[in-house]
Amino acid sequence: MHRLFLLRHAKSSWQTDGQEDFDRPLSERGRSTAPAIGAFMRQNDIAPDLVLCSTACRTRETLALVLPFLRGEATIRLEDRLYLASAAKLSAGLKRLDNAARQIMIIAHNPGLQDLALALSAKDRSQALQSIESKLPTAALVQIDFAMSRWSSLERHSGTLARFITPRSLASDTEG
């Protein structure tokens, strides 16, 4: 079995006029929600073998805040091509990976991550899938499981949406 985690970067700041999109840092809210998602990852033994992260400032900061919470020893690769990548580009990149990494996390941007989650998840009417269709919020984590032996076998709608976690869902869990 192969497992894919999609993590949208945490909330970024728009405070600096004229700042390039690529260089936008996390906002105060983003700096608080990323560790909350990281804590969820630790509590649920999330242990990717490989983390692929966009080189944009906000994705690198998100990675830095969740990395201490990840179980195991993940290989980290910062990749320029992940910046604002489409679902098609992300999927093509996954298909080229060797099979040493069976659990992969991608930290990147919308709309590519949202579109990838929808493209790879089996079509059903689950509440989680409907929520992703509506919105993939910042710092949201999606887990898709695949019954395949190699990444090159990745196909549309071949995965099972196993988990969809948002900072808001974590906050409501602690309030209840």
Q: What is the pLDDT of residue 64?
A: 98
**pLDDT over 80 at 95, yes or no:** yes
Q: Any idea which fold 2-12+22-70+83-102+111-142+159-175 has?
A: Rossmann fold (3.40.50)
CA 168 distance to own-chain centroid: 16
Q: What is the pLDDT of residue 71?
A: 87
Q: What is the pLDDT of residue 116?
A: 98
Whether omega for the bond prior to residue 137 falls within 30 degrees of 0, making it cis, is no
Greater confidence (157 vs 17) lies with 157
* Per-residue three-class SS string for the chain: CEEEEEEECCCECCCCCCCCHHHCCECHHHHHHHHHHHHHHHHCCCCCCEEEEECCHHHHHHHHHHHHHCCCCCEEEEEHHHCCCCHHHHHHHHHCCCCCCCEEEEEECCCHHHHHHHHHECCCCCHHHHHHHHCCCCCCEEEEEECCCCHHHCCCCCEEEEEEECHHHHHHHHHC
Distance, first Cα to last Cα, the chain: 34
Tokens for 11? 């909330």
% of the chain residues with pLDDT over 70: 97
**pLDDT over 50 at 24, yes or no:** yes
**pLDDT over 60 at 79, yes or no:** yes
Q: What is the pLDDT of residue 15?
A: 75
User: pLDDT per residue over 124-156, tens digit each?
Assistant: 778 888 899 999 999 999 999 999 999 999 999
Distance, CA of 123 to CA of 119 (rounded, Å): 9
**pLDDT over 60 at 3, yes or no:** yes
Domains of the chain, residue spans: 2-12+22-70+83-102+111-142+159-175
Distance, CA of 143 to CA of 82 (rounded, Å): 18
Distance, CA of 3 to CA of 103 (rounded, Å): 5
Q: What is the pLDDT of residue 176?
A: 45
CA 28 distance to own-chain centroid: 20
Structural contact between residues 120 and 157, judged by C-beta atoms closer than 8 angstroms: yes
Q: What is the pLDDT of residue 65?
A: 98
**pLDDT over 50 at 41, yes or no:** yes
Output the average pLDDT for the chain: 93
Q: What is the pLDDT of residue 173?
A: 63
Q: What is the pLDDT of residue 158?
A: 95
Q: What is the pLDDT of residue 98?
A: 83
Average pLDDT over residues 61-66: 98
Tokens for 161? 């949406």
